[in-house]
Amino acid sequence: MRKGQYRFVAGFLFVPVALYVIFVIWPYIQTFGYSLTDWKGQSQTFDFVGLDNYKALLRDDVFLEAIWHNILFLVFIPVITILLALFFAFMLNAGGRGKAGGVQGVAGAAFYKIVYFFPQVLSLAILAVLFNAVYRSDGGGLLNGALIKVGLVDADNPVEWLNEPNLVLWALMVAVVWQGVGFYLVLFSAAMQSIPKDVYEAALIDGASRNQSFFRITLPLLWDTVQTAWVYLGIVAMDMFVLVSSMTQNMGAYGGGPDHHSDVMSTVMMRNFLYYGKSGYACAMGVIMLLLTLVLSVVTLRATRRERIEF
Protein backbone atom coordinates (compact mmCIF):
# COMPACT_ATOMS: atom_id res chain seq x y z
CA MET A 1 0.00 0.00 0.00
CA ARG A 2 1.28 3.42 -0.86
CA LYS A 3 2.02 6.08 1.69
CA GLY A 4 -0.91 8.25 0.65
CA GLN A 5 -3.27 5.41 1.34
CA TYR A 6 -2.10 5.09 4.90
CA ARG A 7 -2.78 8.73 5.48
CA PHE A 8 -6.21 8.35 3.91
CA VAL A 9 -7.07 5.31 6.02
CA ALA A 10 -5.86 6.96 9.20
CA GLY A 11 -7.71 10.15 8.37
CA PHE A 12 -10.99 8.32 7.77
CA LEU A 13 -10.70 6.26 10.91
CA PHE A 14 -9.56 8.95 13.31
CA VAL A 15 -12.85 10.62 14.27
CA PRO A 16 -15.05 7.48 14.35
CA VAL A 17 -12.53 5.57 16.43
CA ALA A 18 -11.94 8.49 18.78
CA LEU A 19 -15.66 9.00 19.41
CA TYR A 20 -16.22 5.31 19.87
CA VAL A 21 -13.35 4.87 22.30
CA ILE A 22 -14.19 7.94 24.39
CA PHE A 23 -17.93 7.36 24.76
CA VAL A 24 -18.35 3.60 24.44
CA ILE A 25 -15.25 1.50 24.97
CA TRP A 26 -13.57 3.49 27.71
CA PRO A 27 -16.73 3.75 29.86
CA TYR A 28 -17.30 0.01 29.37
CA ILE A 29 -13.81 -0.68 30.68
CA GLN A 30 -14.02 1.87 33.47
CA THR A 31 -17.15 0.22 34.84
CA PHE A 32 -15.10 -2.79 35.90
CA GLY A 33 -12.68 -0.56 37.77
CA TYR A 34 -15.33 1.57 39.43
CA SER A 35 -17.23 -1.51 40.53
CA LEU A 36 -14.33 -2.25 42.87
CA THR A 37 -14.58 1.12 44.63
CA ASP A 38 -16.93 2.81 47.06
CA TRP A 39 -17.35 5.82 44.76
CA LYS A 40 -20.24 8.05 45.63
CA GLY A 41 -19.93 10.04 42.44
CA GLN A 42 -19.99 13.42 44.15
CA SER A 43 -16.22 13.90 44.30
CA GLN A 44 -13.24 12.31 42.70
CA THR A 45 -12.22 10.67 45.97
CA PHE A 46 -12.98 7.01 46.40
CA ASP A 47 -11.36 4.00 47.95
CA PHE A 48 -10.62 0.63 46.52
CA VAL A 49 -12.87 -1.84 48.32
CA GLY A 50 -12.17 -4.98 46.33
CA LEU A 51 -15.15 -7.23 45.88
CA ASP A 52 -17.17 -5.61 48.66
CA ASN A 53 -19.77 -4.26 46.23
CA TYR A 54 -20.31 -7.72 44.80
CA LYS A 55 -20.59 -9.23 48.26
CA ALA A 56 -23.14 -6.57 49.17
CA LEU A 57 -25.06 -7.39 45.98
CA LEU A 58 -25.43 -10.98 47.08
CA ARG A 59 -27.16 -9.75 50.23
CA ASP A 60 -29.23 -7.09 48.47
CA ASP A 61 -32.71 -8.59 48.51
CA VAL A 62 -34.08 -5.95 46.18
CA PHE A 63 -31.47 -6.71 43.55
CA LEU A 64 -31.85 -10.47 43.92
CA GLU A 65 -35.60 -10.18 43.54
CA ALA A 66 -35.00 -7.97 40.52
CA ILE A 67 -32.85 -10.68 38.93
CA TRP A 68 -35.69 -13.12 39.51
CA HIS A 69 -38.12 -10.80 37.74
CA ASN A 70 -35.72 -10.49 34.81
CA ILE A 71 -35.59 -14.28 34.64
CA LEU A 72 -39.38 -14.46 34.55
CA PHE A 73 -39.39 -11.96 31.70
CA LEU A 74 -36.64 -13.96 30.06
CA VAL A 75 -38.80 -17.06 29.99
CA PHE A 76 -42.18 -15.64 29.10
CA ILE A 77 -41.57 -12.69 26.80
CA PRO A 78 -39.65 -14.67 24.14
CA VAL A 79 -41.93 -17.70 24.30
CA ILE A 80 -45.19 -15.78 23.95
CA THR A 81 -43.89 -13.31 21.38
CA ILE A 82 -42.26 -15.93 19.19
CA LEU A 83 -45.24 -18.28 19.28
CA LEU A 84 -47.66 -15.54 18.32
CA ALA A 85 -45.33 -14.17 15.66
CA LEU A 86 -44.74 -17.62 14.16
CA PHE A 87 -48.44 -18.32 14.08
CA PHE A 88 -49.25 -15.03 12.38
CA ALA A 89 -46.29 -15.29 10.01
CA PHE A 90 -47.40 -18.73 8.92
CA MET A 91 -50.95 -17.51 8.41
CA LEU A 92 -49.82 -14.53 6.39
CA ASN A 93 -47.35 -16.39 4.23
CA ALA A 94 -48.69 -19.87 3.82
CA GLY A 95 -52.07 -19.90 5.52
CA GLY A 96 -54.16 -19.13 2.50
CA ARG A 97 -56.52 -21.69 1.07
CA GLY A 98 -54.03 -24.08 -0.38
CA LYS A 99 -55.69 -25.01 -3.63
CA ALA A 100 -52.99 -23.77 -5.94
CA GLY A 101 -50.16 -25.35 -4.07
CA GLY A 102 -50.72 -24.31 -0.51
CA VAL A 103 -48.12 -21.59 -0.35
CA GLN A 104 -49.91 -18.30 -0.36
CA GLY A 105 -50.86 -15.87 2.33
CA VAL A 106 -54.40 -15.19 3.42
CA ALA A 107 -56.17 -12.32 1.73
CA GLY A 108 -55.12 -8.98 3.17
CA ALA A 109 -51.74 -10.24 4.33
CA ALA A 110 -49.96 -7.05 3.25
CA PHE A 111 -52.43 -4.94 5.20
CA TYR A 112 -52.02 -7.01 8.35
CA LYS A 113 -48.27 -6.73 8.13
CA ILE A 114 -48.48 -2.95 8.00
CA VAL A 115 -50.83 -2.72 10.97
CA TYR A 116 -49.06 -5.27 13.14
CA PHE A 117 -45.67 -3.69 12.67
CA PHE A 118 -46.71 -0.16 13.57
CA PRO A 119 -46.26 -0.42 17.38
CA GLN A 120 -42.61 -1.19 16.73
CA VAL A 121 -41.90 2.34 15.51
CA LEU A 122 -43.56 3.89 18.56
CA SER A 123 -41.15 4.76 21.32
CA LEU A 124 -41.27 2.93 24.62
CA ALA A 125 -42.28 6.23 26.20
CA ILE A 126 -45.45 6.30 24.09
CA LEU A 127 -46.03 2.66 24.90
CA ALA A 128 -45.74 3.47 28.60
CA VAL A 129 -48.27 6.30 28.45
CA LEU A 130 -50.64 4.22 26.35
CA PHE A 131 -50.59 1.22 28.65
CA ASN A 132 -50.79 3.37 31.73
CA ALA A 133 -54.08 4.65 30.36
CA VAL A 134 -55.19 1.15 29.39
CA TYR A 135 -54.42 -0.20 32.87
CA ARG A 136 -55.99 2.71 34.77
CA SER A 137 -57.25 1.45 38.07
CA ASP A 138 -60.78 2.79 37.67
CA GLY A 139 -63.56 2.53 35.11
CA GLY A 140 -61.71 5.06 32.94
CA GLY A 141 -59.10 2.50 31.97
CA LEU A 142 -59.70 0.69 28.70
CA LEU A 143 -59.21 -2.73 30.24
CA ASN A 144 -61.22 -2.13 33.39
CA GLY A 145 -63.85 -0.26 31.42
CA ALA A 146 -64.29 -3.17 29.02
CA LEU A 147 -64.35 -5.76 31.80
CA ILE A 148 -66.95 -3.76 33.71
CA LYS A 149 -69.08 -3.50 30.56
CA VAL A 150 -69.17 -7.23 30.09
CA GLY A 151 -69.71 -7.74 33.79
CA LEU A 152 -66.52 -9.56 34.64
CA VAL A 153 -65.34 -6.87 37.01
CA ASP A 154 -67.27 -5.07 39.69
CA ALA A 155 -67.45 -1.35 38.89
CA ASP A 156 -66.91 -0.42 42.54
CA ASN A 157 -63.90 -2.64 42.84
CA PRO A 158 -61.89 -2.56 39.61
CA VAL A 159 -58.59 -4.37 39.16
CA GLU A 160 -55.48 -2.38 39.97
CA TRP A 161 -53.40 -3.96 37.23
CA LEU A 162 -50.18 -2.17 38.08
CA ASN A 163 -50.61 -2.28 41.84
CA GLU A 164 -51.31 -5.95 42.31
CA PRO A 165 -48.10 -7.75 43.24
CA ASN A 166 -49.23 -10.81 41.30
CA LEU A 167 -50.41 -8.97 38.22
CA VAL A 168 -47.91 -6.22 37.61
CA LEU A 169 -45.27 -8.34 35.84
CA TRP A 170 -47.89 -9.82 33.54
CA ALA A 171 -49.31 -6.42 32.79
CA LEU A 172 -45.86 -5.25 31.74
CA MET A 173 -45.34 -8.36 29.65
CA VAL A 174 -48.56 -7.80 27.74
CA ALA A 175 -47.32 -4.36 26.74
CA VAL A 176 -44.00 -5.74 25.50
CA VAL A 177 -45.63 -8.57 23.57
CA TRP A 178 -48.19 -6.17 22.10
CA GLN A 179 -45.39 -4.06 20.73
CA GLY A 180 -43.07 -6.85 19.64
CA VAL A 181 -45.21 -9.39 17.80
CA GLY A 182 -45.42 -7.40 14.56
CA PHE A 183 -41.69 -7.02 14.35
CA TYR A 184 -40.96 -10.72 14.74
CA LEU A 185 -43.79 -11.53 12.37
CA VAL A 186 -42.06 -9.50 9.68
CA LEU A 187 -38.73 -11.07 10.59
CA PHE A 188 -40.13 -14.57 10.28
CA SER A 189 -42.01 -13.67 7.12
CA ALA A 190 -38.79 -12.60 5.46
CA ALA A 191 -37.23 -15.91 6.37
CA MET A 192 -40.28 -17.88 5.23
CA GLN A 193 -40.31 -16.20 1.87
CA SER A 194 -36.77 -17.25 1.23
CA ILE A 195 -37.85 -20.89 1.53
CA PRO A 196 -38.23 -22.24 -2.01
CA LYS A 197 -41.83 -22.90 -2.94
CA ASP A 198 -41.11 -26.26 -4.48
CA VAL A 199 -40.25 -27.62 -1.04
CA TYR A 200 -43.84 -26.99 -0.01
CA GLU A 201 -45.21 -28.26 -3.27
CA ALA A 202 -43.27 -31.46 -2.91
CA ALA A 203 -44.65 -31.90 0.59
CA LEU A 204 -48.18 -31.25 -0.64
CA ILE A 205 -47.85 -33.86 -3.33
CA ASP A 206 -46.67 -36.27 -0.68
CA GLY A 207 -49.89 -35.50 1.16
CA ALA A 208 -48.63 -33.33 4.00
CA SER A 209 -51.24 -31.44 5.98
CA ARG A 210 -50.89 -27.81 6.87
CA ASN A 211 -49.67 -28.67 10.34
CA GLN A 212 -47.16 -31.12 8.99
CA SER A 213 -45.78 -28.66 6.51
CA PHE A 214 -45.40 -26.13 9.30
CA PHE A 215 -43.65 -28.40 11.77
CA ARG A 216 -41.64 -30.43 9.29
CA ILE A 217 -40.66 -27.76 6.82
CA THR A 218 -41.23 -24.19 7.93
CA LEU A 219 -40.03 -24.42 11.50
CA PRO A 220 -36.80 -26.35 10.84
CA LEU A 221 -35.89 -24.03 7.98
CA LEU A 222 -36.65 -21.03 10.17
CA TRP A 223 -34.66 -22.20 13.15
CA ASP A 224 -31.77 -19.79 12.65
CA THR A 225 -34.13 -16.84 12.65
CA VAL A 226 -36.02 -18.08 15.70
CA GLN A 227 -32.72 -18.38 17.51
CA THR A 228 -31.82 -14.80 16.62
CA ALA A 229 -35.24 -13.62 17.75
CA TRP A 230 -34.73 -15.42 21.05
CA VAL A 231 -31.45 -13.69 21.77
CA TYR A 232 -32.87 -10.34 20.79
CA LEU A 233 -35.97 -10.75 22.96
CA GLY A 234 -33.72 -11.94 25.75
CA ILE A 235 -31.90 -8.62 25.62
CA VAL A 236 -35.25 -6.81 25.79
CA ALA A 237 -36.18 -8.90 28.83
CA MET A 238 -32.91 -8.06 30.54
CA ASP A 239 -33.59 -4.34 30.14
CA MET A 240 -37.25 -3.34 30.68
CA PHE A 241 -36.10 -0.07 32.18
CA VAL A 242 -38.45 2.34 30.44
CA LEU A 243 -41.66 0.44 31.09
CA VAL A 244 -40.95 -0.49 34.70
CA SER A 245 -39.66 2.94 35.66
CA SER A 246 -42.56 4.82 34.13
CA MET A 247 -45.51 2.48 34.58
CA THR A 248 -45.10 1.20 38.09
CA GLN A 249 -45.33 3.17 41.30
CA ASN A 250 -42.26 4.91 42.60
CA MET A 251 -40.30 3.36 45.39
CA GLY A 252 -38.11 6.36 45.91
CA ALA A 253 -37.53 6.66 42.19
CA TYR A 254 -37.48 4.69 38.95
CA GLY A 255 -40.52 2.55 39.60
CA GLY A 256 -40.50 -1.03 40.74
CA GLY A 257 -43.62 -1.04 42.86
CA PRO A 258 -45.70 -2.23 44.50
CA ASP A 259 -43.08 -2.93 47.13
CA HIS A 260 -40.37 -3.94 44.60
CA HIS A 261 -42.65 -6.51 43.00
CA SER A 262 -41.76 -5.24 39.56
CA ASP A 263 -38.20 -4.09 40.11
CA VAL A 264 -35.74 -5.27 37.49
CA MET A 265 -31.96 -5.03 37.48
CA SER A 266 -31.89 -1.89 35.35
CA THR A 267 -34.27 0.05 37.60
CA VAL A 268 -32.43 -0.95 40.76
CA MET A 269 -29.19 0.09 39.13
CA MET A 270 -30.47 3.48 37.99
CA ARG A 271 -31.97 4.14 41.43
CA ASN A 272 -28.66 3.38 43.14
CA PHE A 273 -26.77 5.53 40.66
CA LEU A 274 -28.93 8.62 40.18
CA TYR A 275 -31.03 8.61 43.36
CA TYR A 276 -28.82 7.16 46.11
CA GLY A 277 -25.58 8.28 44.45
CA LYS A 278 -23.91 4.91 44.89
CA SER A 279 -21.89 4.93 41.69
CA GLY A 280 -19.49 2.12 42.53
CA TYR A 281 -22.31 -0.13 43.62
CA ALA A 282 -24.29 0.66 40.47
CA CYS A 283 -21.24 -0.25 38.37
CA ALA A 284 -21.10 -3.64 40.07
CA MET A 285 -24.73 -4.16 39.04
CA GLY A 286 -23.81 -3.21 35.47
CA VAL A 287 -21.12 -5.88 35.47
CA ILE A 288 -23.59 -8.48 36.75
CA MET A 289 -26.01 -7.48 33.99
CA LEU A 290 -23.26 -7.96 31.43
CA LEU A 291 -22.36 -11.38 32.81
CA LEU A 292 -25.98 -12.52 32.79
CA THR A 293 -26.45 -11.21 29.25
CA LEU A 294 -23.40 -13.12 28.06
CA VAL A 295 -24.53 -16.29 29.84
CA LEU A 296 -27.94 -15.87 28.27
CA SER A 297 -26.53 -15.53 24.76
CA VAL A 298 -24.23 -18.51 25.11
CA VAL A 299 -26.92 -20.71 26.65
CA THR A 300 -29.46 -19.76 24.00
CA LEU A 301 -27.07 -20.37 21.16
CA ARG A 302 -25.95 -23.70 22.62
CA ALA A 303 -29.36 -24.97 23.62
CA THR A 304 -30.96 -24.17 20.30
CA ARG A 305 -28.12 -25.38 18.14
CA ARG A 306 -29.30 -27.60 15.32
CA GLU A 307 -27.74 -28.83 12.20
CA ARG A 308 -27.87 -26.09 9.67
CA ILE A 309 -30.18 -26.89 6.81
CA GLU A 310 -29.07 -25.66 3.44
CA PHE A 311 -31.52 -24.89 0.73
Partner 1 sequence: MSAPIKETIPAPAGRPVAQAPVRPGDRRGEGVVLNVFSHGFLALWALLIVLPLLWLVLSSFKTDAQIGGSAFGWPHHWSFDVFSRAWRKGIGDYFLNTLIVLVFSVPLTMLFGSMAAYVLARYRFWGNRLLYYFFVAGAMFPVFLALVPLFFMVKRLDMLNTYQGLILVYVAYSMPFTVFFMHAFFRTLPTAVFEAAVLDGASHTRAFFQVMLPMAKPGLISVGIFNTLGQWNQFILPTVLMQPQSGSDPERYVLTQGLIQLQQQQGYASDLPVLFAGVTIAMIPMLVVYLSFQRQVQAGLTSATLK
Does residue 5 touch partner 1 according to CB under 8 A?
Answer: yes
Structural contact between residues 267 and 243, judged by C-beta atoms closer than 8 angstroms: no
282 touches partner 1 by CB under 8 A: yes
The residue from 52, 80, 98, 160 that contacts partner 1 (CB under 8 A) is 98
CA atoms within 13 A on the CB side of 110: 0
CB of 72 to partner 1, least distance (A): 18
Using the contact rule CB under 8 A, the part of the chain among 75-83, 215-223, 238-246, 300-308 near partner 1 is 238-246
Residue type, 226: V
> Exactly one of 105, 234, 256, 257 binds partner 1 (CB under 8 A); which one?
105
Q: How far apart are CA 137 and CA 269, in angstroms?
A: 28
Min dist CB 207 to partner 1, Å, is 5
- Determine if 146 is a binding residue for partner 1 (CB under 8 A): yes
Q: Which of 7, 6, 25, 28 is nearest to 17 (CA)?
A: 25
Interacting span for partner 1 (CB under 8 A) from 56-64, 104-112, 162-170, 302-310: 104-112
What does the alpha-carbon distance between residue 229 and residue 219 come to, in Å, rounded to a whole number?
Answer: 13
Q: How far is the CB of 106 from partner 1 (least distance, A)?
A: 6
Q: Give yes or no for residue 227 binding partner 1 (CB under 8 A).
A: no
Of 41 and 258, which CB lies nearer to partner 1 in the complex structure? 41
Residue 236 binds partner 1, judged by CB under 8 A: no
Q: Which of residues 109, 159, 168, 172 is near partner 1 by CB under 8 A? A: 109
CB 41 within 8 A of CB 273: yes
Question: Amino acid identity of 285?
Answer: M
Contact 75, 266 (CB under 8 A): no
Site map (CB under 8 A) of partner 1, residues 174-193, x = contact? ----x--xxx--xx-xxx-x
By CB under 8 A, tell whether 125 contacts partner 1. Answer: yes
From first CA to last CA, the distance across the chain in angstroms is 40
Side-chain half-sphere CA neighbours of 195 within 13 A:
27
